[in-house]
Amino acid sequence: MFCLLGYVTASARLTGGVLEAPTWRPVRRQIAELILDATDDETCHANLSAAIIASRAEPVGEPLAVQRIDLAAALCLSPPLNAQLNRERAGADGSRFARLLETLVLSLLTFRAPETTMMLHLFLDERAVRNRRIVRLIERVVDSRGFAISVQRVDSDEVTRVLLPAERGLRHGLHECAYLSALAPRLFNQSIPKLIWLDIDVVFLDSAAHLWSKFAAFDDAMLVGMAMEQTPYYITERVSWPAIGNVGVNTGVQLLKLEAMRAEAFTPAKWFHHIEKILADGACSPGQRGQTCLGLADQDVWNAMLEQEPARLFQLNCRWNTQLIALQSRRRDMAQPCLAHIPNTQAGALTISALHGNGGSFFAAASRENADYGGGTHFASVQAVYDSLLDDAALWSALLA
C-alpha cells in the first residue's frame, strides 16, 4: 500500500490541497479506490477528506430514480452480564460500538447520490441514547435535507407490545437489540413498505441506492434479500440448527419487503412454534453464548424460516455483505465461492460494495503483520480510515449540505 497523496496525484491534480473537481470522475469509484488503498498516514486521510468534499459538487453519473431509502439499525450498549465478548468489543463506555455506528453513517453519506434522501431508523437502549457520540451524530443531521435519523427506544411500549409472550422469554439472556430485525414487519407501519436493515459494523463503498435497486430483481415469491454466510458457523458450530443451503444466510445486510411479508404472514409469529420445536429437540450446543441457544438471534430465526420456505429468499451477491472475518487467512478456504472470486488486488477490491466487520474484525489492528484479519490488507483498513475522519466537521457539513 502507498500513501494516499501519491494516489490522488495520479488520479487528479491537487492545488494547495484542494482537488480540482473537473478531473474527479467517476467520483464514487475513485473514492472507493482511495479508501481501499489508504494507510494510517494522517496526511493521506486529510487528502481523502478533501477529495470527498470536492466530489460533492460533481455529477455521479446517470440520475437515479430513487427518492427515499428507509434503513434501520440497532445499537444496545447494555448487554447482559454473560456477554463478556460484547463488553470487550464495545469498550468500557460503549465508545467502540458508537464509533462503528458513526462510520456506518459516514460511509452512507460519502456515497449518497444527490437525488436520494435517506431515513435511518435507529433503535437504541438507555445507554446508547445518552452516549455523547451518538447524541452528537443525531444533532449533526437535524438540519440535513438529504439524511435524517429517527430514534426509537428498544424498551418503549411501541417495541415491547409487538413481542409475542414466547418471544419475550426467548430474548432473555440476549441484549434487547439482538432480535429486532425479525420484528421489522411489526415494528413499522404501512407507510414503510420496504426497508434495508443493517448491522452497525457495516461500511459502504457504493451508493445504498444501488442496493435498494435490488428490490426490483425480486420475483413475486421473494420477500427477503440476504447474502449467504461466509463463515463455517452453521457447518462446524451449529450443525443441528436448520440453515438454508446448509451454510445459511448472514443478516448483516437485509432487504425486507415489509408490506408483502405482512400480507403473506411471513413473519416469526407464523414460524415461532417451529422454532420452539427446534429448541426443544436439542439444537442448543453446549457452551452456546447467552441463556438461550439463539447465539445469533435474528440470524438463527431467519435461517429457520427460510430453510422451510427457500423460495422467499433473494440471494444477495456477497459484494453487498463481504464479511471481513471470512478473509482471515485461517478461514479463507472455508469462505463461500463468491468471496473466492474477490482477489486481494486493487481491481478486485472494487467489486466490494459493503464490507461487514463481523466477529469484531474491525477492531483488529490493520497491519501487514496481522495475518488473521485479511492479512493486514486494505480491507482491514477501510473502517479505520473512516474512523479517522469522524471528527472532521468540514466533511460532515459537506456531506449533509
The neighbour count for residue 48, using CB atoms within 10 Å, is 26
pLDDT attached to residue 314: 97
Q: pLDDT, tens digit, for every residue of 129-179?
A: 999 999 999 999 998 888 999 999 988 888 888 777 667 666 555 667 877
Q: pLDDT, tens digit, for every residue of 287-331?
A: 444 345 666 778 888 998 898 899 999 999 888 998 877 665 455
Q: What is the distance between the alpha carbons of residues 334 and 387, in angstroms, rounded to a whole number?
A: 29
Q: Which of 7-16, 94-103, 218-227 has the lowest mean pLDDT?
A: 7-16
Report the first-to-last Cα separation within the chain, whole angstroms. Answer: 33
User: Average model confidence (pLDDT) for the chain?
Assistant: 76
Q: What is the distance between the alpha carbons of residues 144 and 128, in angstroms, rounded to a whole number?
A: 22
Q: pLDDT, tens digit, for every residue of 257-275?
A: 999 999 998 887 777 777 7
Find the length of the chain.
401
Per-residue pLDDT band at 401 (split at 50, 70, 90):
confident
pLDDT attached to residue 332: 55
Average pLDDT over residues 86-100: 72
Each residue of 273-282: b (16+ CB within 10 Å) or e? eebeebbeee
Q: Residue 120 pLDDT more than 90?
A: yes
CATH value of 68-317+382-400 in 3.90.550, 1.10.3470, 3.40.50, 1.10.3110: 3.90.550
Report cis status (omega within 30 of 0) of the bond before 310. no
- Cell readout for 224 is 427477503
Q: Residue 216 pLDDT more than 80?
A: yes
Categorise residue 149: left if φ over 0, alpha if ψ from -120 to 50, beta otherwise. beta
Per-residue pLDDT band at 32 (split at 50, 70, 90):
confident
With a CB cutoff of 8 Å and minimum separation 6, the contacts of 330 are 372
Q: What is the distance between the alpha carbons of residues 193 and 168, in angstroms, rounded to a whole number?
A: 26
Query: Which residue is associated with the grid cell 435511518?
Result: 120
pLDDT attached to residue 45: 73
pLDDT attached to residue 257: 97
For the purposes of burial, counting CB atoms within 10 Å of the CB of 206, is it exposed (0-12), middle (13-18) or buried (19 or more)? buried
Q: Residue 286 pLDDT more than 60?
A: no
Query: Which residue is associated with the grid cell 425486507?
Result: 256
Q: In terms of pLDDT, which residue wins out, 96 or 273?
A: 96
pLDDT attached to residue 122: 96
pLDDT attached to residue 1: 35
The number of angstroms, rounded, from the C-alpha of 288 to the middle of its chain's C-alpha atoms is 24
Question: Which residue from 234, 121, 127 is spatially nearest to 176, judged by alpha carbons?
Answer: 127
Contact call for residues 7 and 37 (beta carbons, < 8 A): yes
Q: Residue 100 pLDDT more than 70?
A: yes
Q: Where are the domains of the chain?
A: 4-55, 68-317+382-400
Question: Which residue from 236, 237, 181, 227 is spatially nearest to 355, judged by alpha carbons?
Answer: 227
Q: Residue 39 pLDDT more than 50?
A: yes
Q: What is the distance between the alpha carbons of residues 86 and 80, in angstroms, rounded to a whole number?
A: 9
- Cell readout for 115 is 437525488
Query: Which residue is associated with the grid cell 429517527?
Result: 150
Per-residue pLDDT band at 81 (split at 50, 70, 90):
very low
- Cell readout for 288 is 452456546
Categorise residue 17: left if φ over 0, alpha if ψ from -120 to 50, beta otherwise. left
Categorise residue 287: left if φ over 0, alpha if ψ from -120 to 50, beta otherwise. left
pLDDT attached to residue 293: 64
Contact call for residues 392 and 386 (beta carbons, < 8 A): no
DSSP tally for the chain: helices H, then strands E: 18, 12
The number of angstroms, rounded, from the C-alpha of 233 to the middle of its chain's C-alpha atoms is 19
Q: In terms of pLDDT, which residue wins out, 78 or 354?
A: 354
Average pLDDT over residues 369-388: 61
Q: pLDDT, tens digit, for every residue of 326-343?
A: 665 455 555 556 665 554
Residues above pLDDT 90, as percent of the chain? 30
Q: Which of 38-42, 273-277, 385-389 has the lowest mean pLDDT?
A: 38-42
Q: Residue 18 pLDDT more than 50?
A: no
What is the pTM assigned to this prediction?
0.85
| Helices of type H across 78-231 | 84-90, 95-110, 126-130, 132-140, 157-160, 165-170, 184-187, 208-212
